[in-house]
């Protein structure tokens, strides 16, 4: 494990002990603490697996964003929502990029569905995905995906992308916040940077607390809020254009959180998580909390469970 002696964003040496201790319900059942920097309020998993060791924590057939499975109700729901969200994401980007044939880089493209949808809308789209399994699934769909940064650099130095998207990717990256400088260099003049993350100050995060599925330790290394993310990106040479909510995230995350709660009761001495299927009651509870979270976001009392932040490169 890697212990962070200071905040990766501001270098602050003090954090508030542990804000919350969460379990890895997906792969190992290990406990991880999340701390909050006293200076800049950034929340991060600490200690965390090193970049070399983190792959072991992705070894699960249940890791949905790297699978295309439709075997049970949860997977079917996930895949259905994924399709609906692709449209919504493309509309958000469309607002900022009217011209067709614009070059788009989907950074951390997973199994490539967004790339495919973007190509269909007329974007010249390429992806970067270091996860070998996910990348080969994406390649099988006929999209252009790079698995190594060196390859990406070589391709990009010719023509830089006008849009870079990170859909639920930044919270996984050991390289944050330095990676923002890299993305800034890769991006074309006046290019658009689109970052979607789970929001740990949303109502569903508060309600589920340690069971909140979007803490997803230790795969999620950072646990952003609008107050910690937006100023950090702006400081690196971007103008904040605006944000959009992801209304389906609250339902999906709430359902997984109900599952976590149940699993916690079921056993959890290890070595592996038991497979738990959500019941009808779990669906009803998750729908209630998901709706409450969305309503609170619409009334601007709390952020959405998942939000998309759009920035424009100023330099
Ligand atoms: Zn800090």
Does this model's pTM top 0.85? My answer is: yes
Query: Could you report the per-residue pLDDT of 230-252, keeping only the tens digit for each?
Result: 999 999 999 999 999 999 999 99
More confident site: 157 or 24: 24
- Output the CA 231–ligand 1 centroid distance in Å: 12
Report whether CATH 3.90.650.10 matches the domain 20-313: no
Query: Could you report the per-residue pLDDT of 247-278, keeping only the tens digit for each?
Result: 999 999 999 999 999 887 776 556 677 777 78
- Output the CA 80–ligand 1 centroid distance in Å: 38
- Output the CA 15–ligand 1 centroid distance in Å: 8
Q: Percent of the chain at pLDDT above 90?
A: 69
- Output the CA 312–ligand 1 centroid distance in Å: 24
- 3 state SS of 6: coil
Predicted local distance difference test score (pLDDT) of residue 267: 64
Predicted local distance difference test score (pLDDT) of residue 61: 59
H/E segment holding residue 293: helix 280-298
Q: Measured between alpha carbons, how far is 135 from 45 in angstroms, rounded to an integer?
A: 26
| For the chain, domain boundaries | 20-313
Query: Could you report the per-residue pLDDT of 56-112, keeping only the tens digit for each?
Result: 998 765 555 555 666 677 777 777 777 888 888 998 888 876 665 689 999 999 999
Q: Measured between alpha carbons, how far is 84 from 12 in angstroms, rounded to an integer?
A: 41
> Is the Cβ–Cβ distance between 277 and 255 less than 8 Å?
no
Predicted local distance difference test score (pLDDT) of residue 66: 53
More confident site: 83 or 42: 42
Q: Measured between alpha carbons, how far is 232 from 240 in angstroms, rounded to an integer?
A: 11
């Amino acid at each position: 494990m890697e212990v962070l002696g200071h905040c990766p964003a501001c270098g602050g040496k003090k954090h508030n002990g542990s804000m919350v201790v969460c379990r890895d319900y997906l792969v190992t059942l290990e406990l991880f603490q999340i701390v909050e920097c006293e200076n800049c309020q950034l929340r991060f998993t600490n200690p965390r697996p090193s970049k070399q060791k983190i792959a072991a924590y992705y070894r699960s057939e249940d890791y949905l964003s790297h699978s295309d499975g439709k075997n049970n109700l949860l997977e079917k729901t996930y895949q259905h929502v994924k399709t609906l969200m692709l449209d919504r994401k493309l509309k958000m980007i469309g607002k900022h990029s009217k011209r067709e044939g614009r070059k788009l880089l989907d950074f951390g493209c997973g199994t490539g569905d967004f790339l495919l949808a973007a190509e269909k809308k007329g974007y010249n789209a390429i992806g970067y995905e270091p996860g070998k399994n996910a990348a080969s699934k994406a390649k099988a769909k006929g999209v252009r995906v790079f698995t190594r940064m060196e390859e990406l650099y070589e391709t990009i130095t010719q023509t830089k992308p006008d849009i870079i998207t990170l859909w639920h990717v930044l919270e996984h990256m050991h390289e944050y916040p330095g990676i923002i400088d890299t993305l800034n260099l890769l991006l074309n003049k006046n290019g658009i940077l689109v970052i979607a993350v789970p929001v740990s100050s949303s109502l569903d995060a508060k309600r589920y607390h340690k069971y909140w599925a979007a803490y997803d330790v230790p795969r999620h290394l950072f646990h952003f809020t609008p107050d910690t993310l937006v100023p950090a990106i702006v400081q690196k040479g971007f103008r904040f254009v605006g944000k959009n909510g992801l209304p389906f995230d609250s339902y999906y995350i709430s359902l997984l959180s109900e599952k976590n709660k149940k699993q916690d009761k079921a056993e959890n001495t290890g070595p592996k998580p038991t497979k738990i299927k959500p019941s009808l009651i779990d669906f009803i509870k998750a729908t209630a909390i998901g709706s409450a979270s969305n309503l609170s976001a619409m009334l601007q009392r709390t952020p959405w469970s998942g939000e998309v932040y759009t920035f424009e490169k100023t330099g």
